[in-house]
Amino acid sequence: MQRATLDLWVGLFVVAGIVAVLFLALKVGNLGGYDNGATYVVKASFDNIGGLKPRAPVKSAGVVVGRVADIGFDPKSYEALVTLSLSARYSFPQDSSAAIMTSGLLGEQYIALEAGGDEKMLANGDVLKITQGAVVLENLIGQFLYNKNDSQTEQAAP
């Protein structure tokens, strides 16, 4: 085969391959989203993170603004230490609060970030003070049954 034809085919092949990678990165993956921008890191402690996993989304008002970068355990306070990496495009007041939520009844868990009213904004390395851990289904059911028993005994008492 002629060298020029060969080069043309190989060129087309390489371009097609790169287009495929770009398609996967931008259309299938999340590279088109926040990830390509700069990020800053904030930390938050939770009494219980439930089934939260690294890379879980951080949402504010339902919009993905960052991801869980790391999950650790603080041996002094016996709490979970979660590192969030937030897109530099969004800034939040310093007294913002974080809560671990579940999308749907059985869906994946994410961190909901609720903006506060402080004038100072969160900076890299700051710690979120107001947090709410995951709601554990077993505790919830236990509580529910306990309350039900309570109200039954109350009704039976008089």
Partner 1 sequence: MMQALIGYIRGIGRRTVDRVWRMGVAARFFLLVLLHSGTSFRRFHLIIREIFTAGVLSLIIILVSGLFVGMVLGLQGYETLQTYGAEESLGVLVSLSLVRELGPVVAALLFASRAGSAITAEIGLMKATEQIAAMEMMAVDPIARVVAPRFWGAVISMPLLAALFSAMGVLGGYLVGVVLIGVDAGSFWSQMQAAVDFKEDIINGVIKSVVFGIAVTIIALFEGYDAPPTAEGVSRATTRTVVTSSLAILGLDFILTAFMFRGV
Binding site for partner 1 (CB under 8 A): 1, 3, 6-7, 9-10, 12-14, 16-21, 23-25, 27-33, 35, 53-55, 57, 64
C-beta of 85 vs 131, nearer to partner 1 = 85
Q: Count CA within 13 A, CB hemisphere, residue 106.
A: 0
Q: Which residues contact 145 (CB under 8 A, 6 or more apart)?
A: none
C-beta of 25 vs 99, nearer to partner 1 = 25
Q: How far is the CB of 13 from partner 1 (least distance, A)?
A: 5
In the chain, at which residue ranges do the beta strands (DSSP E only) sit?
39-46, 57-60, 63-74, 79-87, 97-102, 109-114, 127-128, 130-132
Q: How far is the CB of 11 from partner 1 (least distance, A)?
A: 9
Q: How far is the CB of 116 from partner 1 (least distance, A)?
A: 26
C-beta of 54 vs 142, nearer to partner 1 = 54
C-beta of 31 vs 140, nearer to partner 1 = 31
Q: How far is the CB of 122 from partner 1 (least distance, A)?
A: 23
C-beta of 33 vs 72, nearer to partner 1 = 33
Q: Which residues contact 130 (CB under 8 A, 6 or more apart)?
A: 95, 96, 97, 98, 116
Q: How far is the CB of 128 from partner 1 (least distance, A)?
A: 23
CA-CA distance, 136 to 50, in Å (whole number)?
6
Interior/surface letters 63-77, b for 16+ CB within 10 angstroms, e for the rest: eebbbbbeeeeeeee
